[in-house]
Amino acid sequence: MAARTDEKHRRRLRKERGELEGILEALQGQLRSLVDEGREVAESDFSEEGGDPDGGVVERDRVRARIADTEEHLRQVDRAEQAIEDGTYGTCRVCGTQVPEERLEALPWTTLCVQCKAAGHSA
Ligand SMILES: [Zn+2]
């Protein structure tokens, strides 16, 4: 297939991976400090009535959810990079249809055509 096109997508995927890894690192740092704060709040609240221990829990769950999303996105990038190596990049991994170049431009990590994505297959 067109090696030059592959190289372009490979570069975009590498850039995407770099950004995702940066985001993941920031989120994990955020989660660590939230866990630490939670510990301090729990200790300082120990002798007091009230406090809002759940506030921190909600925030931590939110950060954890974003970490899970980012990790899932990284796995998609992994799969797309693997597909480039396998020479299957750009074809839908469910039905084998050629994924339009515009879709690959917009979502370089996608391994599904629009129809299969719409049919509920997860990318
Ligand atoms: Zn398909």
State the distance from the centre of ligand 1 to the C-alpha of 78, rounded, in angstroms.
19
- Ligand 1 centroid–CA 84 distance in Å is 17
d(C-alpha 112, C-alpha 30), whole Å: 33
pLDDT exceeds 80 at position 123? no
pLDDT the model gives residue 54: 63
Q: Is residue 61 part of a domain?
A: yes
Q: Is residue 64 part of a domain?
A: yes
| Within a domain: 113 | no
CA of 95 to the centre of ligand 1 (A): 4
Query: Is residue 91 scored above 70 in pLDDT?
Result: yes
- Count CB atoms within 10 A of the CB of residue 72: 11
> What tens digit of pLDDT does each residue of 26-62 get?
999 999 999 888 887 766 655 444 455 567 788 999 9
Could you tell me if residue 110 is inside a domain?
no
C-alpha distance from residue 21 to each of 45, 67, 73, 74 (Å): 35, 10, 10, 8
94 part of a folded domain = no
Number of domains within the chain: 1
Q: Is the dihedral of CA 51, 56, 57, 58 positive or negative?
A: positive
Task: Give me ligand 1 centre to Cα 104, in Å.
Answer: 13
Domain holding 10, by residue range, is 3-89
86 alpha carbon to ligand 1 midpoint, in Å? 18
Q: Rounded to the nearest whole angstrom, what is the distance from the C-alpha of residue 82 to the centroid of ligand 1?
A: 18
Q: Is the model's pLDDT at 4 over the cut of 80? A: no
96 alpha carbon – ligand 1 mean position (Å): 6
What pLDDT sits at residue 52? 55
Lowest mean pLDDT segment, chosen from 46-50, 93-97, 102-106, 108-112: 46-50
111 pLDDT more than 80: yes
| Per-residue pLDDT at 39 | 80
Is residue 116 assigned to a domain? no
Q: Identify which has the larger pLDDT, 102 or 122.
A: 102
